Amino acid sequence: MGADSGPGAPSAVPWRKVLYERQPFPDNYVDRRFLEELRHNVGVRQYRYWPVVREASLVAQQLSCVAVFLTLWWYMYEGQLSPFMLLLAGLMSALLGYALYEALGGSTDGRRTRLADLQSAAIFLAFTFGFSPVLKTLTESVSTDTVYAMSAMMLLAHLVTFPYTQPSPPGSLSLNAALFGSVCLASRLPGALHTFAMLTCALLVFALWPCLLRRLRDRAEWGFPWAAALVSVGGVCGLASQSPGGALLLALALLVLILLCPLLLLWLQRHKNNIHGPWDEAEIREDLSRFLQ
């Protein structure tokens, strides 16, 4: 790139930043004002450690939700937890969560009523209970290893596609992946009532809990970290009762997500270098209608 201090650069005629006028300068010539108008990192958002830790806890608690669900499934699979106890615990948790949700503001648009919510819950429970025998035999012709592999892939897809910036309501892809994985796992339980209890638990964990957590983050900022921490501790303790090694790996993963990843983000932000100057950015605008025809 040329400069007015280079050899052969004319100095009698001032350079102008125009394209419609012929000037006695090379095409790549600029004067000293070019670098004077150079700016770095204009409008870059500066992050702080603890707010980033707070947002990272949403990722950690979602991972813990998967661990809690797998722990409950394993208890039912081994016969250590009856479906009646799981349904009773789910009913109590749903009532408590709904009361807390209403106390924090309820529906913001005012169109949903308690009666409509009750009707939706009754319809879901009725359809799930009616189709439980079908779902129980859905994967009978599929090997157990394949079912477990599909469940692991679907739960991983749930974690990857979960809308962490806007968890309420959960994304359709994330929720469908979690429910599909839950159906695969529930089909390996002893009876149809076990399948019904497991799918009801999946709805509470993967669909309703993110809505309540979002409301806590918006309306009760002090309660959001405690709720995320409670779920994380529950996931680690529940997994420790079945697999101490898996609980250790989960605890390490949570510590990395909550404490180390924000530090890495802040360290990388120091090396951010966006430049802004007086040049015109090229915009490619090509009419592709001729190809579509």
Name the domain count of the chain.
1
On whether residue 20 sits in a domain, the answer given is no
Backbone phi, then psi, for 123, in 5-degree steps? -65, -45
Cβ burial, residue 160 (10 Å; 0-12/13-18/19+): exposed
On whether residue 104 sits in a domain, the answer given is yes
Q: DSSP letter at 43?
A: T
Q: Which residues, in sequence order, are bridge partners of residue 3?
A: 30
On whether residue 66 sits in a domain, the answer given is yes
On whether residue 36 sits in a domain, the answer given is no
Neighbours of 186 (CB within 10 A): 28
pLDDT tens readout for residues 242-267: 889 999 999 999 999 999 999 999 99
Cβ pair 53, 264 in contact under 8 A: no
On whether residue 155 sits in a domain, the answer given is yes
Q: What percent of the chain has pLDDT over 90?
A: 45
pLDDT tens readout for residues 151-174: 999 999 999 999 887 766 677 889
Name which of 95-99, 213-217, 270-274 the model is least confident about: 270-274
Query: Which range marks the domain in which residue 128 is found?
Result: 52-269
Cβ burial, residue 148 (10 Å; 0-12/13-18/19+): middle
Cβ burial, residue 155 (10 Å; 0-12/13-18/19+): buried
On whether residue 77 sits in a domain, the answer given is yes
On whether residue 222 sits in a domain, the answer given is yes
The pTM for the full model equals 0.78
Mean pLDDT of 210-214: 88
On whether residue 94 sits in a domain, the answer given is yes
Q: Output the six-digit token pair for 79.
A: 């016969």
